Structure 1
């Protein structure tokens, strides 16, 4: 029987792979059936994801993936920027084993970008940042980066194009090149440039909050000005 951690991490992986859309409902009974797990375990997994900022619950909708507003998306990008550049700034040049791990990850990214599996491509592009944090030696912040990356993927799901995904891969390659050269300052600059332009690449509209009265408002709009 899977643990609550197994279930929550599977959901995070699905978000990173763009297999679950923002606002997707996560029915408790459906998850119980899919994972062959008791409701208490499923509920614990969903509660954990709620604390991590990835799902919400309401009496009407039940559990569902968050739909980020512009402000929430900006906050997530800003947090990633601070954490990832700070990790590099405080780190020494990477050991050969860590560099080899990053090269292997880039190879998998290239294959995914050149292939047709959009889910694998999306997962690997997001997972690169988690891998980088782990290679820099901070597993605690790597877990935080993973959660923040999943949250930003809920925006990327809607707005990142295939060309922009390929460009992200080229920027990842440039970051690793700087790390291979032992130039941590350059690596930090490239991470900053990569993350600070995400909100432009994704073209986040000014307001992502759905209008619950939109349909009724349209229906009740006067057909013509009163005479």
Structure 2
């Protein structure tokens, strides 16, 4: 991959890596490391991180540096709710749907199925999340596409953290059902299916059973939980 020449390109590469599952929650993103990897100045790397912070993708810790966000379970639920509102809203607001939109989505689903069949985890993660961005881009709203890309990146982090059990094949099948509804011109059904689909992924999240931060060490030392 050719190194990006602008800090804006760094933003996109980092978000795409999150969508593909190559960067996980809590990953440290050093300014100097990014500057070296992308052949840019440290100032440009910092500018990219500041923008990602404003977009809710990374956070800075004093004297420790920049880290990919580590969302709480409640923040996870809010991110999925935001996606439902945006995606349902844009589908309900569509005035005209050209055949090129459906063609683009069907081509995307073919790539999803190929990634699932070949057990390509990175491509599968990226494509399943990118379907939603692809849909909004195809409908011509680039502003919402950018917002949705960031929200989707956050939900990919969330799904890894909280072990979403929603099956990849099921997600792909739901994408196809949404596309079929769009092909039939039934935008309301497409919107309803989209809300249901995102809800299914959210429902697959599992909250940690034990909020005790000492659980791992306690188990290693074979100690019983402390009673108050």
TM-score of the alignment, normalized to the shorter chain, above 0.5:
yes
Do the aligned partners of 2:164 and 2:202 also contact (CA within 8 Å) in 1?
A: no
Contact 1:70 1:206 in 2 (8 A): no
Aligned to 1:160: 164
Alignment equivalent of 2:135, drawn from 132, 137, 160 = 132
Q: Distance in 2 between matches of 1:65 and 1:80?
A: 20
CA–CA separation in structure 2 for the residues paired with 1:156 and 1:224: 31
For the 8 Å contact 2:164–2:201, the answer to whether it is kept is no
Which of 35, 48, 53 in structure 2 is aligned with 1:50?
Answer: 53
Q: 1:171 to 1:222 in 2, by over 3 A?
A: closer
| 1:79-94 matched pairs, under 5 angstroms | 79-94=82-97
Gaps of 5+ in 1: none
Contact 1:92 1:184 survives alignment (8 Å): no
Question: Is this contact kept in 2: 1:94–1:135, CA < 8 A?
Answer: no
- Alignment gaps of 5+ in structure 2: none
Larger RCO (CA under 8 A, 6+ residues apart): 1
Say which SS state the counterpart of residue 195 (structure 2) adopts. helix
Residues 158-204 of structure 1, C-alpha deviations (whole Å, 9 max, x = no match): 3135x611111110010001001111111011001001222211224
User: 1:86, CA displacement in angstroms?
Assistant: 0.5
Q: RMSD between aligned alpha carbons?
A: 2.6
Residue-pair matches, total: 221
Aligned ranges for residues 26-175 of structure 1 at < 5 Å? 26-158=29-161, 159-161=163-165, 164-175=167-178
- Once the two structures are superposed, residues 200-221 of structure 1 have per-residue CA deviations (whole angstroms, 9 ceiling, x without a partner) of 112243787x8489969x99x8
Q: Quote how far apart the aligned CAs of 1:135 are.
A: 1.7
Give the deviation of 1:28 after TM superposition: 1.1
Work out the CA distance in 2 between the residues paired with 1:211 and 1:136.
45
Alpha carbons of structure 1 residues 223 and 62: separation in structure 2 relative to 1, 3 Å:
closer
Structure-1-length-normalised TM-score: 0.89
- Normalised to the residue count of structure 2, the TM-score between the two structures is 0.88
Aligned to 2:167, the other structure's residue is in SS state helix
